[in-house]
Chains A and B, each alone.
Chain A
Amino acid sequence: MYAELSLVVMVASLLVGGWCLVSAARERWLGAGQVVALAALELVLLAQAVAATVRMVGGERPDQFGTFIGYLATSVAVLPLATLLSFMERTRWGSVIAGVAAIVVAVLTLRLRQVWVPA
């Protein structure tokens, strides 16, 4: 885990999540900008997962290895699945799905930071 990168991920996912929830409050489904933001966020999450994997392959081990792997896998899976669900629900509730998913990503990243416990 890279502390700076994960901090960026957390802030970005909270911003994207908040943006989606604004649409939900205005009774709208996601716009193109939000879909692009979700895709960009997913790319950063993939980068984070690859970076963490490289460090683990390099011999570093998080304190709770199994838990860390679980959170890491979930962190890259949540947004694609939620976006798929959101596209099936093109109402304000689709925006809620995307918004909640992005906030879940922020929480997962926080847990990843805690579980890693840098040596």
Chain B
Amino acid sequence: MSTEVEPRTAVNAGPGRVLIGLYGLFALSAGVRAGFQIASRFDQAPAAYLLSAVAAAIYLVAMLGLIRGGRGGQRLALVCCAFELAGVLVVGTASLVAADVFPDETVWSFYGRGYGFVPLVLPVLGLIWLTHVRPTAHS
């Protein structure tokens, strides 16, 4: 481990570091928001608030995967991005079709409209980066 040279174009460098920043921001904002909602008025919309918490957790794990890098980190982040894209599409559509299920907005409601549609764009950018980068195989 200590003797190996750190690969320069790794998952966690270049565009990957931009993604780390964005995922960190979203993990923080979705997490704080979910925590606040669950603590203050959980019974009002438990499904929506739990969903926000799940989204925050996914953002956090994606960020950790990106930071860790290597094959394992890349795979972890890839799974998170795929889950995230599925989540934003399913929840986005559900919020349009059955608005009563999500009385309070979540990060993924209306395809992330409340967050400038970044929640919809972010997993796509993540998937593009993670499927194109080839971590220099070492070990």
Contact = CB atoms under 8 A, between A and B. Distances in A.
A78 B25 contact: yes
Contacts of A81: 21, 24
A88 B40 CA distance: 38
Interface string A55-97: 0000000000011001000100010011001001101011011
B54 interface: no
A93 B36 contact: no
Contact of A74 (B15, B17, B29): B29
A70 B32 contact: yes
A104 B25 contact: yes
What bracket does the count of chain A residues touching chain B fall in? 10 to 19
Contact of B18 (A78, A97, A104, A107): A97
Interface in B3-45: 13-15, 17-18, 20-22, 24-25, 28-29, 32-33, 36, 40
B21 A91 contact: no
Given A74-B29, A107-B116, A93 B20 contact: no
Contacts of B40: 66
Interface residues of B, number: 17
A112 interface: no
A88 B20 CA distance: 12
Nearest to B17: A89
Contacts of A107: 116
A100 interface: yes
Of B18, B29, B32, the most chain A CB neighbours within 10 A belong to: B18
A12 interface: no
Interface of A: 66-67, 70, 74, 78, 81-82, 85, 88-89, 91, 93-94, 96-97, 100-101, 104, 107
20 contacts: A70-B33, A70-B36, A74-B28, A78-B25, A81-B21, A81-B24, A82-B21, A85-B17, A85-B20, A89-B13, A91-B14, A93-B13, A93-B14, A93-B17, A96-B18, A97-B17, A97-B18, A100-B18, A100-B22, A101-B21
